Amino acid sequence: MPKSGKKRILIVDDAQFVRNRIKKVVEKMDFAEVIGEASNGDDAISLYKELKPDLVTMDLVMPNKDGIEAIEEIMKFDKNAKIIVVSAMGQELSIIEATEKGAKDYIKKPFKEEQIYRTIEKFLKA
């Protein structure tokens, strides 16, 4: 457990600007911090295993492994993983599939920063 006692978040999105926006929201939280970032599913899986974050924000459409495959692998590794899908409109079927694979919630892009804050808070302050 890190000395800060903060909950640890891994951000997964192939777009740097999206990761930056989510990170900006997390930086406003006194109870959480970003411990890692990944731009594809492969990196997401290996970082999850290495860092064991308390929560993951997961994009679905990415190079190499997509978010669905990454969710599946992470859930195999840790059935208690908390994964929130952050993905674009028009991906309802993928979002349903992601929740069937174990994602806990989803936020649609474009998102409001407040949505990110409230959703993360809901899972980390429970």
Tell me the backbone φ, ψ of residue 76, rounded to 5 degrees: -65, -40
Q: Alpha-carbon distance 79 to 66, whole Å?
A: 19
Q: Is 48 helix (H, G, I), strand (E, B) or coil?
A: helix
φ, ψ of residue 66 to 5 degrees: the values are: -85, 180
The correct CATH number of 7-124 out of 3.40.50.300, 3.20.20.70, 3.40.50.2300, 3.60.15.10 is: 3.40.50.2300
pLDDT tens by residue, 64-96 = 899 999 999 999 999 999 999 999 877 788 989
Please determine, for residue 2, whether its predicted confidence score (pLDDT) is greater than 60.
no
Report which of 24, 71, 55 is spatially closest to residue 125, judged by C-alpha positions.
55
Q: How many Cα atoms occupy the beta-carbon half-sphere of 59 within 13 Å?
A: 27
**Chain mean pLDDT for the chain:** 94
Q: Could you tell me the pLDDT band of residue 1, with boundaries at 50, 70 and 90?
A: very low
Tell me the domain boundaries of the chain: 7-124
